[in-house]
A and B are shown apart, each in its own frame.
Chain A
Amino acid sequence: MASSTTGEKKILTLKGGDNEEFILEESLVLQSELLKNMVKEERVSSIPLPSIKSKTLVKIIEYLKKHAELTPSNKEEFKNFEKEFVNVVLEELLDITVAVNYLKINGLLEFCCQAVADRIKDKSVEAVRKIFRIESDFTPEEESEFRKETPEAFEGDLDDTTN
């Protein structure tokens, strides 16, 4: 099926996990390697993305628009936008990161992962386990060995919150 067109610009519909539809210019989604391949090779005009929450998709589309408008003169403004873009609760940031990885938006993936790293770097082991929903497979004895090996890594004010 050929994409529907208005004038010169091709229009594409993205369908989020809760069936909410987002209509946008096809040129915007070409920043995503996954969507680019679908558009170029399969000539689809509507793409279902059931694994991505609509809330997350709204954020990503916002980024794609801003990134498409990026010129040498508004670089500073874009940097500020990027800073605000990742300034969300950690759970939401992880949702965005997972979606960006799935959609293969390369520059943004690095940026999101850097933001995740910045947010967890001062957190306690327990907090990181909660955030990533990991259950420890070490015995308490093994765990205390790590603490004995590098006590300096466990010193200081560690953050126990998960947001």
Chain B
Amino acid sequence: MADLDLPNEITTIVLSNLPVKSLLRFKCISKPWNSWISSRRRQGAIAWNSWNSTLFFRFINQQLTLDELNYTSSDDDIYLLSCSLLGSCDGLILINRNEHIYLWNPTTQFYTKVLELDRLNDDGYSIRGGLCFDSSKNVYKAVLIMRHQTPDYGGEFVIVTSLKDKRWRTVKFPYDICSVCDGITLHGRLHYRLRVKKKDESMWDSFGPCKV
């Protein structure tokens, strides 16, 4: 029988609309399908919120529109509700549990441990995170904005590392760390929402750890 010769664009879009159970089954269709499915990612950042102990994810693509993410949890999963979600980029999510940091692809449900930081075990820290891709060095970088509730103990600082060399470096952060709310990665830069006390409203500003 002749090959249907379906253009790759079509296969890619069809696969991105399939639930995880079907994807796991279709990995054995052929080698090209297996590699498509295994390397599959959605473009864009991911936003999440939890409701009644269920996590909801949404993709935010470059056109700033929202897409639902079909995520069905299975028993083998890392137990997401006991993790904190640090950031997302290119359809990948950075997750932290105890001192470990994992990179998770919710589309394929594959995850892998990428970093470790003892200070994450200290409950005294409130942490904002971020993940972005440094195209000049071809590496993913993780950012942690950390603030200890006892000021003398740990203080406030922002650290960055690439997932490749795994060496944390302190970087300057141009805003009051206490004012940082949530963040998102778009167009290759991290954006954080900041609480501006005077005007009683919030603002967004971007921060490029790739530049430091």
A77 at the interface (CB under 8 A from B): no
Of all chain B residues, the one with the shortest Cβ separation from A156 is B21
Contact B29 A136 (CB under 8 A): yes
A37 at the interface (CB under 8 A from B): no
Give chain B interface residues in 1-31, CB to chain A under 8 Å: 1-4, 6-7, 9-10, 13-15, 17-19, 21-22, 24-31
Residues of chain B contacted by A89 (CB below 8 angstroms): none
Residues of chain B contacted by A120 (CB below 8 angstroms): 14, 18, 22
Residues of chain B contacted by A133 (CB below 8 angstroms): 1-4
Give chain B interface residues in 82-126, CB to chain A under 8 Å: none
When chains A and B are docked, how far (Å) is the Cα of A114 from the Cα of B1?
A: 26
- A-B pairs with CB below 8 Å: how many? 79
Of all chain A residues, the one with the shortest Cβ separation from B75 is A152
- The one of B4, B21, B34 in contact with A132, judged by C-beta atoms closer than 8 angstroms, is B4
When chains A and B are docked, how far (Å) is the Cα of A125 from the Cα of B21?
A: 12
When chains A and B are docked, how far (Å) is the Cα of A146 from the Cα of B27?
A: 8
When chains A and B are docked, how far (Å) is the Cα of A142 from the Cα of B3?
A: 22
When chains A and B are docked, how far (Å) is the Cα of A117 from the Cα of B6?
A: 14
Residues of chain A contacted by B17 (CB below 8 angstroms): 113-114, 116-118
B136 at the interface (CB under 8 A from A): no
Residues of chain B contacted by A132 (CB below 8 angstroms): 4, 6, 29
- The one of B9, B18, B30 in contact with A117, judged by C-beta atoms closer than 8 angstroms, is B18
A103 to chain B, nearest CB (A): 12
Residues of chain B contacted by A153 (CB below 8 angstroms): 21-22, 24-25
Give the interface of B toward A (CB within 8 A): 1-4, 6-7, 9-10, 13-15, 17-19, 21-22, 24-31, 33-34, 74
A-B contact pairs, 26 of them (CB 8 A): A94-B4, A94-B6, A101-B9, A109-B9, A109-B13, A110-B13, A113-B13, A120-B18, A120-B22, A125-B26, A125-B28, A125-B29, A129-B30, A133-B1, A133-B2, A134-B3, A134-B4, A134-B30, A134-B33, A136-B28, A136-B30, A146-B27, A146-B28, A147-B28, A152-B74, A153-B22
Give the interface of A toward B (CB within 8 A): 94, 97-98, 101, 109-110, 113-114, 116-118, 120-122, 125, 128-129, 132-138, 142-143, 146-147, 150, 152-154, 158
